[in-house]
Amino acid sequence: MKNLLFLLLCTISGIAAGPDLPHLREDYDYIIIGAGTAGGYLAHRLSTADSKKSVLLLETGPNTLSSGGINEMENPNLFSLVPGNFVENVAQSRTNYLYTIAPQAELENRVLTYHRGKGLGGTSTINYMAWVKGYKGDYDEWAHIADDAEFSGTEGWERIKQLESFDPTGLPASYSRYAVPDLSNHGNSGTIHNSLPKNPIPGLATFIDGCIEAGIPKSLDINSGKNIGVGIAQMAIFKGARVSSATQCLNSEGDLGAGLRKQSNLHIKVETKVERVIFEGLKAVGVQVVGGRIYRAKREVIISAGFIDSPKLLLLSGIGPKEDLEILNIKVVSDSPNVGKNMLDHSTILLDPIFKQDLQVPTSNSFWQEPDHVLWEKYKWAHSYNSGAGEGMGEMTRFGGSSAIAFIKFTPEEREQWPEWEALTTEERARFLDPDRPDTEIFYFLGYRPPGKVIPMGSEQNSYARLFLLQQNNLSRGSISLKSADPAEQPLIDPRYFSHPYDVRIAVEAVKAAVKIFKTKALSACFVGMEFVGATEDPPFIRDCPEREEKNHEKGKLTGGFYTNGIDLTDDAEIEKWLRKKGLGQGYHGMGTCRMGAAGDPLRVVDSGGRVVGVEGLRVADTSVIPVVMNNHPQVSAYLVADVIADSILRDV
């Protein structure tokens, strides 16, 4: 009965579920595989360009926009939009593939979980919402590799401005000296909204002050196109709620998103997994989904399944390295040796600065300790949001809704001291010496209590911040490959973190730089120390007993008032050992596995229009096509890819 009701609700909303509903057509002008960040926006672009052209959007995961059929306070779709609910949101297998990556040889064979969004909106429904455009020079490099100025730091940047709508208002006046965005760098009438925080988290201004004291320049606009500096992050938040490609582009009547309604010529089918692309000769003519049903494309098939599943689907469809496909008895349609190769990613180091207890800082960690208060704040947010008619208010917009970012760069003199620097090629050195290209992003936000974490009886958890140190220009290269010809089996995901020695050096130096920042006068006035528990363990709860707390205070006195637990910062070898054992983690910013390139590029899989080289009628449009490691957060790049490729498709009509 519940399933019947769900199907009925989905049909009424214009979004169908399951592979066997007879009312859906069998053929469409365009078929898009994947309703993620790029796929959802691409579907919007194609369906609004020509109402006479039919578009079918196929998505493996659920309808994340539905508001009907359940009690509001029990609707996971509603609370996936709450900025402060991001930790619980990302833990849901319903909307997260929760992939596991291959044992990492350079990280003591650790196996890590890799988050990827599942359902309408894809990873834009579970990410941290930071809207970070990045460095214009990266876009120029991308344009050079693709031989297409539409991705450049001029034309590409203008496209991003056109697709975004930035709200510079709302930041409290007391923070005005930290953010004065140059509106010439931003759009204000596009589909994808972003904004400055209206309710900044504790310690945000202090973090910026500490970075400035440590010599990092202040950035009044973190999205100016030159990354180096520290400032307030702009967030993909609109009306106090998460912004995703789904909330902004794919709404049907009664849905939860505050963005645009989908067009009537756009047909969306959720909970439908594509097993392979169908070819007639070298031309893609449709797709086969689980259950055997085939949908035909009169014009083109576009794969927008993300940097993991797009190469997986190409391989399952017979496009990839000939020898690898033949071993798995997959019929070779096109020998494309670089499908799944060239995986690029940021890697992440998690650090936990500890607030001085006597400050009684109201962090999200303590917030989640009071279930009744949390429930009240959820009611407040839901009531004020009113399914997008109003604006979500309260503490649920504070925790998860704001952060600060510092992009740091090491000096040429520092690099000359590193043996790993000497081993780099001339081209690599020139790239790293670009004065505007950062080495590491330090992302400041607040600690949180993970779902299911129980605080020991008789103890009081500490208040703490959390730092993500994202290594921006890793030289390590990974891959995506098939384990078998079974479409249901997860592919082999191997980022090969730390496989290049220079990445190790940058990570070691980033840890030391972060601690140096927190030893400044501004930050040491608020923080007593830093815990090094690693990327795969629970956040620290150091105040388990008075004796431990006293030891930390004594340790702080011996180290200038700031202690560190879990690492010896005086020995680079010890820092490296900690990073390999538990400190370094996955970046969740994968790209490059269906690399874009110009004619003659031996590494390319697609051209600048996303066309898969060697076949016809098939494109890839998502972050898998990006050929360089971008110094940004990849949702921005995903929208740009979709926008450029949409125009390429429309020009080819």
Whether 38 and 622 have beta carbons less than 8 Å apart is answered as yes
Query: Could you say which of 267, 346, 500, 633 is catalytic?
Result: 633
Question: Quick one: 456 exposed, middle or buried, by C-beta within 10 A (0-12, 13-18, 19+)?
Answer: exposed
Q: Which residues contact 625 (CB under 8 A, 6 or more apart)?
A: 591, 592, 594, 595, 596, 605, 606, 610, 641
CA dihedral of residues 605, 607, 609, 613 (deg, nearest 10): -60
Spatial distance between the Cα atoms of 328 and 431, rounded to a whole number of angstroms:
40
Question: Quick one: 310 exposed, middle or buried, by C-beta within 10 A (0-12, 13-18, 19+)?
Answer: buried
**Residue 634 known to bind ligand:** yes
Answer yes or no: 23 catalytic.
no
- Going by the DSSP 8-state scheme, the letter that residue 263 receives in this structure is P
Answer yes or no: 633 catalytic.
yes
Spatial distance between the Cα atoms of 631 and 176, rounded to a whole number of angstroms:
26
**Residue 274 known to bind ligand:** yes
Spatial distance between the Cα atoms of 296 and 277, rounded to a whole number of angstroms:
10
Q: Which two tokens stand for residue 274?
A: 């594509």
* DSSP string computed for 527-567: EEEEE---SSSPPP---SSHHHHHHHHHHHHHTTT-EEES-
**Residue 635 known to bind ligand:** yes
- Going by the DSSP 8-state scheme, the letter that residue 497 receives in this structure is T
- Phi and psi of 122, rounded to 5°? 55, -135
CB atoms under 10 Å from CB of 526, counted, come to 20
Q: Which two tokens stand for residue 473?
A: 């220009």
In whole angstroms, how far apart are CA 613 and each of 156, 303, 559, 605? 23, 14, 59, 6
Give 446-483 as a 3 state SS string.
ECCCCCCCCCCCCCCCCCEEEEEEEECCCCCCEEEECC
Spatial distance between the Cα atoms of 12 and 606, rounded to a whole number of angstroms:
38
Give how far the C-alpha of residue 566 lies from the chain's centroid of Cα atoms, to the nearest Å.
Answer: 29
Burial 151-175 (b: 16+ CB within 10 A, else e): bbbeebbebbbebbbbbbeebeeeb
Query: Which among 541, 593, 243 has a CA at the least distance from the CA of 366?
Result: 541
Whether 303 and 311 have beta carbons less than 8 Å apart is answered as no
Query: Which among 325, 313, 323 has a CA at the least distance from the CA of 278?
Result: 313
Whether 218 and 274 have beta carbons less than 8 Å apart is answered as no
Spatial distance between the Cα atoms of 221 and 180, rounded to a whole number of angstroms:
6
Spatial distance between the Cα atoms of 73 and 70, rounded to a whole number of angstroms:
8
CA angle 76, 80, 81 (to 5 degrees): 130
Burial 370-384 (b: 16+ CB within 10 A, else e): eeeebeebbebbbeb
Binding residues: 123, 274, 634-635
Residue numbers in the known binding site for FAD are: 123, 274, 634-635
Active site residue ranges: 589, 633
